[in-house]
Amino acid sequence: MRIFSGIQPTGRKHLGNYIGAIIQYVAGQERGDAVYCIVDLHATTVEFDPAGLRERTYDTAAILIAAGLDPERCILFRQSDVVEQTELAWLLTAVTSYGDLQRMTQFKEKSAAQRKLVTAGLFVYPVLMAADVLAYRTNEVPVGDDQRQHVELMREIARTFNARFGEVLVVPEHRIPAVGARIMDLQNPEAKMSTTTGGEEGRLYVLDEPAVIERKVKRAVTDSGEGVRRAPDKPGITNLIDILAVVRGVQPSAIEHDFASARYGELKAALAVELTAYLAPTRERYAQLRGDVAGLEAVLADGAQRARVIASATLADVRDAMGVGPPR
């Protein structure tokens, strides 16, 4: 089984990224042939700083390795180093519906937030995302709940291509974590934790120092009433329960049981201590890795070389099926 996922090099990685994606990547190394991509081309679809983009790519590579990705056991590479994915994206526009792209929720949200220019790249972003996945004949895509619509589109693109040109592409399945698929903003628990929206106190970064983690958790918005339990009318407490369940590796019901007679403050205090310990190994390992830019480049270059072997074979089959280029 082949597993593929891509991660944006935008901003510092927060707890939602870590739980919804990064720890899923690490687990994927145990279950199959894992391929992971830092999608720097996707980051160019909105306003960006060129020097900052390169630095954030290194930041992201260091965090992924610090969290447990082993370049000897998976393929880790930079998207722009594998040109086969961008060519495949263009070819896949031939089987992608304009109407489907118009309906993409993230396009609507991101285009509304743009101050200067809504780019064509932002509009066709989901096609490049589909190419990222389909280039590796991926069986499974670990994603957060917010990416469900994009995975459904890439499945539709693969099915349409196969119906028209023959069974060339694998139709992937998504894998969304049962617990922690949507980690919410600590100050606005009805909104997803995000790098681009909300305030600093609402997002908890993987690299936050222990004192910062404690402060943010203890200031997290909770709900009226009493009782540590998950419920639609208790989004703040539900979010904290879900986070602690992931940290402990248990079901949320176990947290509800353990804190059945506790006050909100006791839940927050326990979460602050346990979350600090949970993130500490990644933060410490990151500090060791980030300064070695040459080492990070070597990992990304080796990963790109291995990725191109797979992607070039898929692209050759797609070109042949579509009648593009000379016959093989």
Give the model confidence (pLDDT) of 89-101 as tens digits.
Answer: 999 999 999 999 9
Close Cβ partners of 140 (under 8 Å, ≥ 6 residues apart): 1, 2, 3, 4, 28, 32, 172, 173, 174, 175
Q: How many domains does the chain have?
A: 2
For residues 152 and 139, state if they share a domain: yes
For residues 101 and 137, state if they share a domain: yes
Q: What is the mean pLDDT of residues 136-163?
A: 89
Give the model confidence (pLDDT) of 245-282 as tens digits.
Answer: 999 999 999 999 999 999 999 999 999 999 999 999 99
pLDDT at 148 over 90: no
The residue behind tokens 């993230």 is 106
Contact by Cβ (8 Å): 91, 161:
no
Query: What's the pLDDT at 158?
Result: 97
For residues 255 and 307, state if they share a domain: no
Examine residue 191 and state whether it is found in any structural domain, yes or no: no
Examine residue 270 and state whether it is found in any structural domain, yes or no: yes
pLDDT at 308 over 80: yes
Contact by Cβ (8 Å): 221, 189:
yes
Examine residue 169 and state whether it is found in any structural domain, yes or no: yes
Query: What's the pLDDT at 109?
Result: 73
Examine residue 183 and state whether it is found in any structural domain, yes or no: no
This prediction has a pTM of: 0.91
Give the model confidence (pLDDT) of 118-142 as tens digits.
Answer: 888 888 999 999 999 999 999 999 8
Give the model confidence (pLDDT) of 181-215 as tens digits.
Answer: 789 999 999 998 988 777 899 999 999 999 999 99
CATH number at residue 258: 1.10.240.10
Query: What's the pLDDT at 251?
Result: 93
Residue % of the chain over a pLDDT of 90: 73
Query: 224: which DSSP letter?
Result: S
For residues 275 and 303, state if they share a domain: no
What are the CB-based long-range contacts (under 8 Å, 24+) for 186-192? Answer: 186/216, 186/217, 186/219, 186/220, 186/221, 186/239, 187/219, 187/220, 187/221, 188/221, 189/220, 189/221, 189/235, 189/236, 189/238, 189/239, 190/235, 192/16, 192/146
Instruction: For residue 271, give its domain range.
Output: 200-287
Query: What's the pLDDT at 11?
Result: 64
